[in-house]
Amino acid sequence: MDEAGGQPYGHGDASFRAAGGETGLRALVDNFFDRMGSDPRFKTIYDMHPDDLDVSRDKLARFLCGWLGGPKLFSQKYGSISIPRAHQHLPITAVERDQWLACMRESVAEQAFPAEFKVYLMEALYVPAEGVRKRIERLAGQGHEPVEG
Ligand code: HEM
């Protein structure tokens, strides 16, 4: 249940509201990319991103709004998206997946979200992160090597 005793996370917009709506998610995403850019533990995944991170920040924040049951801000601006497909050109293995999740976990920990929502969110994010890794592994098995850039 969310903190107001309403719908459980994952239903309706309960998760979006627990995250503080678009404002809360933009703050999370800014923290995430600031951390990725300043902590050498995340250098491998940081270096995969374009130099100008403004669009990356906007895309991830908008995606998370819709994914958590809020307004579909990503598709409104950028069109439809498949998370595994959007990453299939990148060299992402379990190492890079875990870097991404660790960076996100540390940023989530610093937000004023309900404690149980933080746990829910990190468990939920594992699913698309692992989906990315699996797709790249499958394509590599078919002889399609990911090309960075
Ligand atoms: C598994 C570890 C992950 C890594 C290393 C990673 C890394 C990246 C990188 C480098 C880009 C920029 C790609 C480019 O401009 O060529 C990107 C884009 C993006 N990522 Fe991830 N990502 C990961 C997981 C995720 C997850 C789990 C989500 C969603 C919950 C996500 C959402 C996005 C979105 C929405 C974009 C923008 C895609 C677009 O350009 O249309 N990523 N990611």
Check: pTM over 0.85? Answer yes or no: yes
* 45 C-beta closer than 6 A to ligand 1: yes
b/e burial code for range 33-47 (CB count within 10 A of at least 16 → b): bebbeeeeebeebbe
* 86 C-beta closer than 6 A to ligand 1: yes
> In sequence order, which residues have a C-beta less than 8 Å from that of residue 65 and are 6 or more positions away?
16, 21, 22, 25, 71, 72, 73, 74
Specify the pLDDT at position 149.
47
Residues in the chain, pLDDT under 70 = 1-5, 147-149
Delimit the domains of the chain by residue range. 14-141
- CATH says 14-141 is which class? mainly alpha
pLDDT per position as a tens digit, 61-75: 999 999 999 999 999
Our mutation pick for probing the ligand 1 site, out of 59, 87, 108, 137, counting the most ligand atoms within 8 A of Cβ, is 87
